[in-house]
Amino acid sequence: MTEARQPNPTVTFYGAIPGSRAPLRADPSVLGTLPARGFQYCEALRAASSFGWYAFPPIDFSLLWDGSEVIWTYRGAKAWYPLKSAQYPGFSRYFDDVAPKRLRGFAPPFLTSTWDPSLIQVWTGLFVESAPDWSILVRPPANLQRHEGYHLYEGIVESDRWFGPLFTNLRLVKTDVPIHFSTEVPLIQVQPLHRTAYAEEISNSFSLAGDLADLPADAWSRYEQAIVKPNVEPRPAGAYAASVRRRRKSGCPVHIT
């Protein structure tokens, strides 16, 4: 993995497995999979798609679940193997060669089958940490078509306080069908999240206007500006996207390194 260090980064990734793919800034086109019109004109779609970084599997591998047990294989393997806890091929020895003596024998597993055999923990081959008061949201890649064979869970990790492997949990939902994971397809999207954004007082701070008649005058004016005028006085396609991009260039948003 090529090292690319920036001063005072919000999030730092450490490549632990030699040769594994580096994280990639998330792409507004979702690696070219978005429809051209959505990519060009829908700024909400672009913003969500490009928020954060992609992390990939460190090797091509496959899982197969028969409803009670999981077997797995990987690129270059000669067979399928029962899955309980599996190291990345050759990584345990490499870890013990590099790690301090007191930590030898504690290499993180690549794949782990949990108490529920359909629930699998997958390591990206990365370690991660974040700046003080910043956490990470680990989630499925935004707007990338979901795989029918498994579901990814989401989780918030306080990675400024907890340093360790960047992994995800997935649930297998198809049986007797090999499910393939490729180093060319993002496994997860990692998004920076300031701790204040999900604090209890923020989540509890909301109000509800329970009836349309309760909308204040300024809300009606904003509705007119956003929804009615573009239909009565047609504006150029992508006007909202252009205005958002101009506002970003003006320096109003918080900059994240």
**Where are any strands of DSSP class E within the chain?**
11-15, 24-25, 53-55, 61-65, 70-74, 81-82, 85-86, 111-113, 119-130, 134-139, 150-152, 155-157, 164-172, 179-181, 188-194
3-state helix, strand, coil in the chain (%, to 5): 25, 25, 50
Split the chain (257 residues) into runs of 10 and give each run's mean pLDDT: 69 95 95 87 92 98 96 96 96 97 97 93 98 98 94 97 97 97 97 96 91 93 92 70 61 39
Check residue 242 and give its pLDDT: 57
CB-neighbour burial class of residue 68 (10 A; exposed 0-12, middle 13-18, buried 19+): exposed
Residue 51: how many other CB atoms lie within 10 Å: 17
Residue in this structure with the two tokens 């004109």, named with its chain if needed = 41
Q: Side by side, which strands form the sheet with 53-55?
A: 24-25, 53-55, 188-194, 134-139, 155-157
Task: Let me know how long the chain is.
Answer: 257
What is the predicted pLDDT for the residue at 257?
A: 28
Determine the pLDDT at residue 209. Answer: 86
Report d(CA 242, CA 228) in Å as an integer.
19
- Within 8 A by CB and 6+ apart from 181, the residues are 57, 60, 61, 62, 63, 122, 187
What is the pLDDT at residue 252? 45
Per the CB < 8 A criterion, the answer to whether 153 and 108 are in contact is no
For tokens 């990790």, name the residue: 157
- Tell me, what's the pLDDT at 96? 98
E strands within 36-100? 53-55, 61-65, 70-74, 81-82, 85-86
Supply the pLDDT for residue 1. Answer: 54
Domains of the chain (ranges plus CATH)? Answer: 11-198 (2.70.40.10), 211-249 (no CATH)
pTM (2 d.p.):
0.86
